[in-house]
Structure formats: structure tokens, C-alpha cells
Amino acid sequence: MKKKIIGLCAILLAVSGCGKIPTLENGEEAIITFDNDHMISVNEFYNTLKNTYGLDTVIALADTYVLETEFADYKDTARETADSYVDSMIESAGSEDEFLNSIRQYGYQSIDGYRDLMYLSVLQNHAVEEYAKLQITDEEIKDYYNDIAVGDMEISHILITPDVADDATDDETEEAEEAAQATIEEIIAKLDEAKENGEDIEETFAALAEEYSEDESTKDDGGDLGRINYGTLDDRYDELISTAASLDVGEYSTEVITTELGYHVILKTQEYDKESLEDLEDEIRDILSEDYITDNSTSIAFYATQHYRNEYGMEIVDDEVARQYSNYIQNALATIQNTENNTTE
């Protein structure tokens, strides 16, 4: 790294028209000169840098190289994602100058530097996702396929959301939730009555969805969520899918279903045969890896980056930076351990 800095300094001095690089009496090359012939050497610059921002810089350089190499086919996507994110932040700030002023307080002197930070962050997130997939065993995939995986289903739902104001008290929130649940129970009672009277349940459900549902995107279509399965929609719908798996076609749920979205009643309108394990393997691995990331949220970023650094045989040869890196690793492990201990207590 020292040689790279020296090389860079030489280029900068040459471009500035200084000609031959000045040297101190001990032969060290200068990076700054003064009228009184005082000079600051490249070595002073390097030693100051490594004792201040050296470790952060080393880690950023190492991770950029490792992750760009390991995920070469993802580099363009990562850059586009990072640029899009930064561009949206610039737009929110009002101008590039305003955005630059806001990031300078965090030590960034240019927008390009901040783009590089976001680019590395996107690469690191991708590395976490790929590392998590490596932790999923074939046995876990088989177990998921046998015990949890189901064929695609077509489901309709009616959603009721509690009417809770931002400044609602706990009692007001509880009252609103009870009212929402009561509405779902009322809908289920109407479905029960229609069933007893021999009415068409799909038609009844569609009419009730149009009347009651607060899912504006589906209510006018009978609450139809389409052909779905685990992973088709975000995981807020997983409870609907697991409930639907236990229903026969034409059956509706008779208990209130609770999700992050609110309260639901569902109707299963169609089901399809489960695909083969071979066909579902990648999809199941993705689902299980997402769960793995959630379950190991306090440590996975650390272990993922360590995994890929080790894969490429990363070794810090500067003694001082190596010492800092060792301390960083020990502190990170201690933090992870403390967090996990507090979580289990």
C-alpha cells in the first residue's frame, strides 16, 4: 500500500509541473514543501494516514477488490443501484451542492466518494445474501420441501385494518384492533349464512370484498390475490398462504387471520400440484437464506465479509494496520457475543 501511495504522489507532483520530486536529507520523498525548505515526507503522510483513517481505507480497498472479483457479474448492477440511490438523495437535497454540504459532516469531500461508499455497501449486501445461501444445507431444503412447500394456490382475501391515529393511546389502539377483528368475524358470519343457504360462496365473497375490504388493489376484483405461493408476495402474506394450504378449494377461513397488514378472511379458489424438489430447490434456498439472514442479523455481515476475505487469502503486511485490524476483529466478535447474550436473556 505504501508503494501505491508513493506512486500516486509521484504522479500528482509530475502533473503539477514540479519536475523532479524533492527529497528530504534522509532520502525520503516529499509530499509537501514550504518556502523555508521544510518538507513533509511521503512516509509522514503514510504513517499519519494509517493511524487515523488507515484501517477503514484498507478494509474498503480490500472488500472492493474481493467482492468485485467474487461477484464480477454483479458489478454493473451494484453500480447502477448505488448511483440511483445517490441520485435520489441529491434530488431530495435539492441540488448537488446541498447534498455535498450534508455529507461533508461525515468526512466525504466529494459526491463520487460517497457513490463509491454506496457501491461498496451494495456489494456487501449482495455478499451477505450469497453467503447466507451457502449456509443452507441440502437436508434443510429437503425438509422444507417435504414439510412446508406447497403447490401454487389462487386465493382471495378481505382485509380490515384498524383505524389507529398516529397519536392514539394504548386504549384507543386496542379498541380499534378489536373493532377490526369484530368486522372480520361479522364477514365470516355472513359467509356461514350464505353457505347454509346454499349460495355461491365465490360470488358472496366477492360481494363482501367489494363492500368491506380495505385492500384497494383487490377489492373490486373480489379480493383476488392471483396465483401465489411462499415468496410470490412479501412475507407479510405468509400467514395467508399457510392458512390457505390447510383449506380445500372453495373453503374460506373461519378464524380471524392476523398479519402486519391487519386482519383477514380468505377464500381458496384453486390449487396446483407441487413442483418437483429439483424445480423448487433454488426458490427454497432463497426463502431459507432470507430466514437465515433474519435469524443472524447481528453477526451475518461480519461473518460474510470475513468469509470472502479469507477465501482470497487477505493478509495485512503492515504491522501497525495489522494490529488495528486484529483489534477490530476482536471488538466485533465481542460485540456480537454480547448482543447475542442479551437477546437470549
pLDDT of residue 21: 60
Among 42-56, 88-102, 109-123, 331-345, the minimum mean pLDDT is found in 42-56
pLDDT of residue 150: 93
Determine the average pLDDT of the residues in 114-136. 97
Residue 20 pLDDT > 60, yes or no?
no
- Region class of 90: left (phi > 0), else alpha (psi between -120 and 50), else beta: alpha
Residues with Cβ within 8 Å of residue 198, at least 6 apart in sequence: none
Looking up residue 192, the CATH number of its domain turns out to be: 3.10.50.40
Do 78 and 94 reside in the same domain of the chain? Answer: yes
Residues with Cβ within 8 Å of residue 320, at least 6 apart in sequence: 50, 51, 54
Highest mean pLDDT among 16-20, 30-34, 80-84, 147-151: 80-84
Domain boundary among 222, 247, 273: 273
Do 15 and 161 reside in the same domain of the chain? Answer: no
Residue 106 pLDDT > 80, yes or no?
yes
The model's pLDDT over 143-192, given as tens digits with 9 standing for 90+, comes to 999 999 999 999 999 999 998 888 889 899 999 999 999 999 999 999 99
Do 249 and 168 reside in the same domain of the chain? Answer: yes
The model's pLDDT over 275-293, given as tens digits with 9 standing for 90+, comes to 999 999 999 999 999 999 9
| Confidence band, pLDDT 50/70/90 cuts, at residue 26 | low
Do 107 and 40 reside in the same domain of the chain? Answer: no
Do 180 and 113 reside in the same domain of the chain? Answer: no
Rounded to whole angstroms, the Cα distance separating 64 from 136 reads 26
Rounded to whole angstroms, the Cα distance separating 161 from 236 reads 14
116-122-128 Cα angle (round to 5): 135
Q: Return the percentage of the chain with pLDDT > 90, whole number.
A: 70
Q: What is the mean pLDDT of the chain?
A: 89
Do 161 and 268 reside in the same domain of the chain? Answer: yes
* Total of domains in the chain: 3
Closest to 205 in 3D by CA, of 220, 223, 227, 218 = 223
pLDDT of residue 1: 40
Domain boundary among 273, 301, 319: 273
Do 89 and 173 reside in the same domain of the chain? Answer: no
Rounded to whole angstroms, the Cα distance separating 143 from 167 reads 45
Do 141 and 163 reside in the same domain of the chain? Answer: no
Do 185 and 260 reside in the same domain of the chain? Answer: yes
Determine the average pLDDT of the residues in 110-121. 94
Among 44-58, 132-146, 317-331, the minimum mean pLDDT is found in 44-58
Domain region containing 167 = 152-273
Domain boundary among 273, 288, 314: 273
Do 160 and 267 reside in the same domain of the chain? Answer: yes
Do 140 and 282 reside in the same domain of the chain? Answer: yes
pTM above 0.85, yes or no: no
Do 266 and 164 reside in the same domain of the chain? Answer: yes
pLDDT of residue 2: 40
The model's pLDDT over 183-222, given as tens digits with 9 standing for 90+, comes to 999 999 999 999 999 999 999 999 999 999 999 999 999 9
Determine the average pLDDT of the residues in 103-109. 86
